[in-house]
Amino acid sequence: MTEILYQAQRSPQERMALYQLLRDAANKCEQCRLCRSRKNVVVGEGSLTARIMFVGEGPGEVEDNSGRPFVGPAGQLLTRILEAAKFSRDDVYITNIVKCRPPNNRVPEIEEVLSCQRWLEAQIALLQPQIIVCLGNTPLKWFLHGTEGITKMRGRWFTWRGAALMPMFHPSYLLRNQSRERGGPKDLTWRDIQEIRQRYESLRG
């Protein structure tokens, strides 16, 4: 599927039709054991013409129940971060490395990530975002295959298959670290989203 999706120009109708095929296929996926406990496959949400894609770790309980990404407490914080930087959820695309909730919100296991990566690959191929934001360690390691964690890698620009990529703290980490001190996680995240906004504006010309 991924090879078919990599085309430079598509009409909105073609893009929507292909996206629906992707969703339908993902909703039937049973490639790893997460399918046994899920309520919904949480594929993603947002604009199919988005220039920027946010990639998190995996759905939580609220997302599993609703079938939508980032709608629980961490998702509500992400929405506020986006709005503070003058982004709308309708203008970006939001997804996760794995599309089914890991039990007890644990970190996805490597076998689960490898089983699920075809769907993220297909999403990237279809949307062809110009900016990718990794939210937390799990997407950071998938994209960059490094050993350094999010604390050292956040706020830096990388190039991934022609797209500009920046790691940023996951909103759930910010909920656990409420300090507003200069140099703290919230302050650094504000700097990062401002940097992302500037890069986004430069793409718009």
Going residue by residue through the chain, which has 205 residues, state the pLDDT in tens, using 9 for 90 and above. Answer: 555 555 556 788 999 999 999 999 999 999 999 999 999 999 999 999 999 999 999 999 999 999 999 999 999 999 999 999 999 999 999 999 999 999 999 999 999 999 999 999 999 999 999 999 999 999 999 999 988 999 999 999 999 999 999 999 999 999 999 888 999 999 999 999 999 999 999 987 6
**pLDDT of res. 8:** 54
The whole-angstrom separation of Cα 126 and Cα 168 is: 23
**C-alpha distance across the termini of the chain, in Å:** 32
Whether 82 is in a domain gets the answer yes
CATH number at residue 87: 3.40.470.10
Whether 4 is in a domain gets the answer no
Exposure on the CB side of residue 93, measured as CA atoms within 13 A: 23
Strands 45-46 and 93-96, how do they pair? antiparallel
**pLDDT of res. 35:** 97
* Paired tokens of 19: 């996206």
* Paired tokens of 185: 């996680």
* Structural domains counted in the chain: 1
Whether 90 is in a domain gets the answer yes
Whether 6 is in a domain gets the answer no
> What domain range includes position 191?
11-204
**pLDDT of res. 55:** 99
Alpha-carbon distances, residue 165 vs 59, 150, 195 (angstroms): 22, 13, 12
**pLDDT of res. 10:** 78
Whether 1 is in a domain gets the answer no
Whether 133 is in a domain gets the answer yes
Q: Is the distance from CB of 103 to CB of 65 less than 8 angstroms?
A: no
Alpha carbon dihedral 50, 118, 146, 33, in 10-degree steps, equals 120
Whether 139 is in a domain gets the answer yes
Whether 32 is in a domain gets the answer yes
Task: Give the Cβ contact number of residue 115 at 10 Å.
Answer: 20
